[in-house]
Amino acid sequence: MVVLVTGASGQLGQSLQSISENYPEMDFIFASSSDLDITDTEKTIAFFRKTKPAYCINTAAYTAVDKAESESEKAFQINVKGSQNLAEACAETNTVLLHVSTDFVFDGEKTTPYTEEDIPNPKGVYGKTKLEGEQVIQAAWPKHYIVRTSWVYSEFGNNFMKTMLRLASERDTLNVVDDQIGTPTYAVDLAEALVAIIRYDFQNDTKPYGVYNFSNEGVCSWYDFAKKIFEVNQISISVNPIPTTAYPTPAQRPKYSVLDKYKIKTTFGITINSWEKTLRHH
């Protein structure tokens, strides 16, 4: 079973590489943007014709939330055009597409966890291009699983945890926003969930294609997350809670983006760890 992973040099791509040897029945092809430029239609089709993957996990994305406001065309090319190219290539080679999306498709105005049925209303360029990416996939190829996630961190790539640890080595005090609420997602847990979907799809005649939410369990603010990172790593530093208004950014963030995981847990029999438990182990 050939499984193609796009965006292999990003943190989710690297997380998938870190667990790949646990699944010998899967023949993983890890393609970074230099191996496969998903914004190039012809090269994408050619790559699929050559490798003939049964599954494609698309972890390639433009994820610089603030930069996207001034680089909207670049974000569009990767998040929308790239997604469309992949969906069309998958349609030609009958490849099941697993596509990773984001909590940023929502406006964050709710106060209860977002379900897959909630109406998206993205606030910024990043969220808008990620939503358009979902839509072009849905229009081009029915055999897809779109997995929305949030606050992804790991030992790989660039993320909040690594930024906090770096800043803690440079400063005595940090200010972190405490009025944006969500759930951290350990990228390796997300990688395991994606593999679980592939295994389910491969073993079962019923194909529950569609949109799913995945993050770790629990709820916290960025401030809570930062405090726990320092506690787990036994770092003594003063962390001050501040409102979003005290830390203006080019892109507006959702105030509340907790995701409801009922659908993914019941459909695929996935057990999800709490964010604190996962963080303690990494």
- Mapping DSSP onto H, E and C, the string for 232-266 reads HCCCCCEEEEECHHHCCCCCCCCCECCECCHHHHH
Q: What is the pLDDT of residue 52?
A: 97
Q: Above pLDDT 70, what percent of the chain?
A: 100
Closest CA to 148 of 110, 122, 124: 122
Check: CB of residue 16 under 8 Å from CB of residue 30: yes
- Angle 222-232/160-170 helices, nearest 10 degrees? 60
pLDDT value for 214: 98
Q: Which amino acid is at 144?
A: H
pLDDT at residue 101 in the model: 98
Q: What is the mean pLDDT of residues 202-223?
A: 97
Segment holding 198, helix H or strand E: helix 187-203
Q: Going from the N-terminus, what domains does the chain have, and what CATH number goes with each?
A: 2-159+184-217+258-273 (3.40.50.720)
In the numeric block, which tokens belong to residue 192? Answer: 């395991």
Give the confidence band of 31 by pLDDT, cuts at 50, 70, 90: very high
Q: Assess contact for 134 and 280: CB atoms under 8 A.
A: no
Statement: residue 55 has pLDDT above 90? yes
Contact 14, 28 (CB under 8 A): no
Give me the catalytic one of 126, 145, 186, 223: 126
pLDDT given for residue 202 in this prediction: 97
pLDDT tens per residue, range 123-168:
999 999 999 999 999 999 999 999 999 999 999 999 999 999 999 9
- Residue 142, amino acid: P
Please name which of 9, 15, 46, 72 lies closest in space to residue 191, comparing C-alpha atoms: 15
- Cα(104)–Cα(129) distance, integer angstroms: 10
Q: Whole-number mean pLDDT of the chain?
A: 97
Sequence-separated (6 or more) residues with CB below 8 Å from residue 243: 177, 178, 179
Pairwise CA distance, residues 156 & 8, whole Å: 11
Q: Which amino acid is at 269?
A: G
Whether 262 is catalytic: no
Buried b (16+ CB within 10 A) or exposed e, 95-108: bbbbbbbbbbbbbb
Work out the average pLDDT over 71-84. Answer: 98
Q: How far apart are the first and last CA of the chain?
A: 30
Residue 262 banded pLDDT, cuts 50, 70, 90: very high
| Lookup: tokens for 24 | 């010998």
Tell me the per-residue pLDDT of 164-191, one tens digit each, with 9 for 90 and over: 999 999 999 999 999 999 999 999 999 9
E-only strand ranges, the chain: 2-6, 27-31, 55-58, 96-102, 144-149, 152-153, 173-177, 181-182, 185-186, 210-213, 220-221, 238-242
Task: Report the pLDDT value the prediction gives residue 281, as an integer from 0 to 100.
Answer: 78
